[in-house]
């Protein structure tokens, strides 16, 4: 009997994870990647003695990576290792307020009570409600397909439905946070978690407060070798299990016959397969690879998530007040998100995120220097003049860093690399350069995300941040798990 074949389009983190899971199911897997490297947004560059992770900079829920190695009874530590951070994030405000989030909930409650003058009972109640939201919905919204009837017939789903009133679905995240806290700084701190899926805290539903639970309850981690090592260790592991990666191999077309996928057309050559998985942005999958297919109009018309403008700076100085993760907040958060999502503009006083991996890996920068990943949330690409924006924004960012840190950062920048929405779209095929596909600025957004399988074509599946369950490394990894479950359960009951 011939070994069944599976072809995967795109070697992003979800595509690589899917290749490992399908190999475990007995498929001979080929991965076709347009770029000369694997990893998608999880890529890196080296410049003038500095190493920069280009894409995602936050690593949570590392067990989702570990379990890919454990599928084959391998010790993850033989391939990939990480440390748990004792300090989750440093926060800074223009008035001089600083706050450090530790990896202890008890410490957070005590120190947030002192810094923000909020009652301990309120803070604890908020954190407990976030945990409840996650416990009630993780199986329904994160671990299973929302597009199968049997998902809604499970005991856990029924339990969640009966307690739906506890999820704050009808409130925005900001409104939810205001119900618990009065200090605008603590509200702003918790509002920030909307950006973890490229949304606005003034629009995304209050259930998204459970994102903070994932970070504060489970912790944040640093992968040894940098974020890029996540994708590269999984790539090498996949290769060791027989997965073949075809780099510089842009897929031109998903070949279909009536209601079934037959394979891929790559540079004029046909590759037949038993199933196909697209790790490409769902919008691009339909507009570039499935041009003859019926388009899911509501899904493709969803508002794009935010994008990013990132300055990668080699800084010839060390800043002891900074850590791996740092946030310098805007003075007017609501105006910032109004500009991003309603005006499609970049706010003049943006919140700045600074990631410095040389705090953990000294070799990422020359001696007495640091590699700064300086990210600003910006709208997706709608034809704005990004060259002009980059120049103006750089000045605003430098001015803000100087004010808050009491420094003069410009003379310290000895190398620079920049990513903007246009470059992100060009290098990752993310529609309009959005980081997470569709935003979650709607209470029905989770249900409007594309399923992990096609209702039109048998043996066609989808993974990655633009489909269910969403963007970010943990959810991308979970999408690959759902794909594998769908392959096992090929007799779908559509809803």
Q: Is the peptide bond before 140 cis (omega within 30 degrees of 0)?
A: no
DSSP secondary structure of 103-168: S-HHHHHHHHHHHH---HHHHHHHHHHHHHHHHHHIIIIIIS-TTBGGGGGSHHHHHHHHTGGGS-
Query: Which residues face 223 on adjacent strands?
Result: 82
Reference 398, options 389, 407, 385; nearest CA is 407
Specify which residues 91 forms β-bridges with. Answer: 99, 327
Phi, psi (5° rounding) for residue 252? -95, -30
Q: Which of 80, 82, 361, 53 is nearest to 233 (CA)?
A: 80
C-alpha to C-alpha distance for 42 and 15, rounded to whole angstroms: 12
User: Each residue of 59-78: pLDDT tens digit?
Assistant: 999 999 999 999 999 999 99
- Which stretches of the chain drop beneath a pLDDT of 50? 491-495
- Domains contained in the chain, CATH given: 5-82+226-299+440-488 (3.50.50.60), 104-218 (no CATH)
Structure tokens at 370: 């640091």
- pLDDT score of 495: 37
Q: Tokens 């279909």 correspond to what residue?
A: 256
> What is the pLDDT, as a whole number, of residue 151?
60
> Residue 150: what are its φ and ψ, rounded to 5°?
-65, -20
CA separation for the pair 262, 276 (Å, rounded)? 8
The CA distance from 60 to 474, in Å, is 7
Please name the residue that has the structure tokens 């199911």: 25
Find how far residue 220's CA is from the centre of its chain. 14
* pTM exceeds 0.75: yes
Q: What is the spatial distance between Cα 439 and Cα 448, in angstroms, rounded to a whole number?
A: 11
């Amino acid at each position: 009997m011939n070994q069944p074949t599976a072809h995967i389009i795109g070697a992003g983190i979800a595509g690589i994870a899917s290749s490992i899971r399908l190999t475990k199911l007995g498929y001979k897997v080929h991965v076709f990647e347009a770029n000369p490297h694997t990893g998608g947004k999880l890529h890196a560059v080296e410049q003038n003695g500095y190493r920069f992770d280009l894409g995602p900079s936050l690593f949570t829920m590392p067990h989702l990576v570990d379990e890919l190695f454990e599928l084959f009874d391998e010790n993850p530590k033989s391939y990939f290792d990480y440390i748990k951070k004792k300090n989750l994030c440093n926060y800074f405000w223009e008035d001089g307020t600083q706050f450090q989030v530790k990896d202890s909930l008890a410490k957070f409650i005590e120190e947030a009570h002192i810094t923000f003058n909020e009652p301990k009972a309120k803070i604890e109640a908020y954190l407990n409600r976030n945990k409840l939201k996650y416990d009630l919905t993780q199986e329904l919204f994160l671990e299973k397909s929302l597009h199968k009837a049997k998902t809604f017939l499970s005991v856990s789903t029924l339990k969640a439905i009966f307690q739906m009133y506890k999820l704050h679905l009808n409130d925005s995240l900001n409104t939810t946070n205001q119900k618990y806290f009065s200090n605008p700084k603590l509200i702003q701190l918790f509002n920030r978690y909307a950006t973890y899926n490229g949304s606005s805290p003034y629009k995304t539903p209050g259930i998204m407060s459970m994102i903070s639970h994932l970070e504060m309850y489970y912790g944040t981690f640093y992968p040894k070798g940098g974020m890029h090592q996540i994708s590269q260790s999984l790539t090498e592991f996949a290769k060791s299990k027989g997965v073949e990666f075809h780099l510089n191999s842009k897929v031109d077309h998903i070949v279909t016959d009536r209601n079934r996928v037959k394979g891929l057309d790559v540079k004029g050559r046909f590759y037949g397969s038993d199933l196909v998985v697209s790790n490409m942005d769902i919008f691009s999958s339909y507009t570039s690879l499935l041009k003859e297919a019926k388009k899911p109009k509501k899904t493709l018309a969803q508002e794009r998530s935010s994008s990013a403008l990132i300055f990668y700076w080699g800084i010839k100085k060390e800043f002891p007040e900074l850590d791996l993760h740092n946030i310098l907040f805007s003075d007017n958060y609501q105006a910032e998100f109004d500009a991003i999502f309603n005006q499609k503009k970049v706010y003049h006083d943006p919140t700045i995120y600074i990631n410095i991996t040389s705090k953990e890996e000294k070799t990422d920068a020359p001696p007495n220097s640091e590699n700064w990943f300086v990210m600003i949330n910006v709208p997706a690409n709608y034809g704005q003049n990004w060259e002009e924006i980059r120049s103006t924004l750089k000045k605003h960012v430098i001015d803000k860093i100087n004010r808050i840190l009491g420094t003069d950062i410009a003379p310290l920048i000895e190398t620079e690399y920049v990513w903007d929405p246009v470059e992100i779209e060009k290098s990752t095929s993310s529609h309009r350069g959005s980081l997470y596909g569709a935003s979650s600025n709607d209470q029905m957004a989770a249900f409007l995300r594309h399923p992990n399988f096609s209702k039109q074509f048998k043996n066609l599946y989808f993974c990655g941040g633009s489909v269910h369950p969403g963007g970010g490394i943990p959810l991308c990894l979970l999408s690959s798990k759902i794909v594998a479950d769908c392959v096992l359960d090929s007799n779908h009951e559509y809803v």
